[in-house]
Amino acid sequence: MIFSNKLILWYLQNKRDLPWRKTKNPYHVWLSEIILQQTRVAQGLDYYLKFIDAFPTVNHLANAEESTVLKLWQGLGYYSRARNLHFSAKYIVNELNGEFPKTYKEIVKLKGVGDYTASAIASMCFNESTAVVDGNVYRVLSRYFGIDTPINSSAGIKEFKALAQSLIDDSQSGTFNQAIMDFGAIQCKPKKPLCLFCPFADSCVAFQKNKIDLLPVKEKKLKIKNRYFNFLVIKTADHKTILKERKGKGIWQGLYQFPLLESEKSIDKNDLISSEMFNEMFPNEVSISLFNKKEVVHKLSHQHLHTQFWIIELNHQKDANIDWKAIENYPVPVLISNFLEEYLS
DNA sequence: AACGCGTGGCT
DNA sequence: TAGCCAAGCGT
């Protein structure tokens, strides 16, 4: 039996029941695909339901404030996805007359939509025969065909895309794409794949050669950087504080946080008091205490943030204009929301 | 073309 | 535990 038929047969018996599979509404499918980029189904599912509820159509999304979109996205990570989603919703409403683009070529022009996402939407919603290549597809194909080209090399990206495209069932491309991804997620898992019950076992090169654990091949990982964050948590006598929006290019763009003093290494109270930033913000006497006796280490994929929360109480601060009760309306990183939960409990 | 971008689950 | 990985994309 040819690859696609065997795969789809497996899929029909094993597929997961997921809400975005009940529809061909391209806006809903688009939303689900953006949420699921580098994100597990279990983590993204609630966000999908919340977004569909808050923004039932692309018009609703386009008309929202960016901070509202980010607030709903809070906790999901990779926040550029939310900003690009919102940007593209406005583009669809304003430039495309509210009509979702219908071909791969047009869909891939949306900001935040690359080859994978455009292929997924085009195949699932518009029956265009464009093969998806995500982490699951790399794993399934590298194992089944015994390909050791690094999946994150430019040669590998081309090779696997062409291979996937050669295997796709043109008459049911959307089903094929979902099938190969579900197969990778459920059966051909990264660790401990279910080879003993696998319908492809007798023709899988990696299984036959006992190389399952060696594939796929991935080139070097990047080094993790340590950073030292000191948040100045201001509390005035009339229950006000300061939050600042993160601008620029780094992490958490568009999210809010307490005023931040970043240092080269961990600092103590004396270091804090003698810093330029501290003296500019607090020319008069204030009460300072370190909230977390042990450094909080917040781990991002590429940075470890060694964090201290300094509680600074004072009578009045001219820039402190956010009521403590209003903090919950602002989108904040998980690091900040974890602190707030502990501090306010 | 390599790197930056979050968070959480699994081993 | 520390590292790997997850329905990738932008620059």
Go through the domains of chain A in sequence order and give each one's CATH number: 3-214 (1.10.340.30), 225-343 (3.90.79.10)
Report the pLDDT value the prediction gives residue A207, as an integer from 0 to 100.
96
3-state helix, strand, coil in chain A (%, to 5): 50, 15, 40
Q: Are A109 and A115 in contact (CB under 8 A)?
A: no
Instruction: Give the DSSP letter of residue A304.
Output: E
Report the pLDDT value the prediction gives residue A291, as an integer from 0 to 100.
97
* Protein residue closest to B11, using CA and C1': A191
Residue A223's pLDDT band (boundaries 50, 70, 90)? confident
A40 contact to strand B (CB, 7 A limit): yes
In the structure encoding, which two tokens stand for residue A262, read together? 């970043």
Q: How far is the CA of A222 from the C1' of B6 (A)?
A: 16
Q: How far is the CA of A39 from the C1' of B8 (A)?
A: 9
* Chain C bases near protein Cβ (<7 Å): 3-10
The Cβ of residue A210 has, within 10 Å, a number of other Cβ atoms equal to: 8
A114 contact to strand B (CB, 7 A limit): no
In the structure encoding, which two tokens stand for residue A266, read together? 């961990």
Q: How far is the CA of A79 from the C1' of B6 (A)?
A: 8
Report the pLDDT value the prediction gives residue A220, as an integer from 0 to 100.
79
A window 252-271: Cβ near strand B (< 7 A) = 252-253
In the structure encoding, which two tokens stand for residue A137, read together? 């597809």
What whole-number distance in Å separates Cα of residue A94 and Cα of residue A303?
38
Q: How far is the CA of A250 from the C1' of B5 (A)?
A: 8
In the structure encoding, which two tokens stand for residue A239, read together? 């229950």
Q: Which amino acid is at A245?
A: E
Beta-carbon-side half-sphere exposure of residue A2 (alpha carbons within 13 Å): 7
Residue A86's pLDDT band (boundaries 50, 70, 90)? very high
Q: Are A319 and A239 in contact (CB under 8 A)?
A: no
Mean pLDDT, rounded, for A198-227: 93
Q: How far is the CA of A1 from the C1' of B7 (A)?
A: 41
A343 contact to strand B (CB, 7 A limit): no
What whole-number distance in Å separates Cα of residue A340 and Cα of residue A316?
21
A283 contact to strand B (CB, 7 A limit): no
A window 220-249: Cβ near strand C (< 7 A) = 221, 224
Mean pLDDT, rounded, for A7-22: 96
Residue A285's pLDDT band (boundaries 50, 70, 90)? confident
What whole-number distance in Å separates Cα of residue A171 and Cα of residue A163?
17
Q: Is the pLDDT of residue A221 over 80?
A: no
What whole-number distance in Å separates Cα of residue A132 and Cα of residue A142?
15
A19 contact to strand C (CB, 7 A limit): no
- pLDDT tens figures, A172-184: 999 999 999 999 9
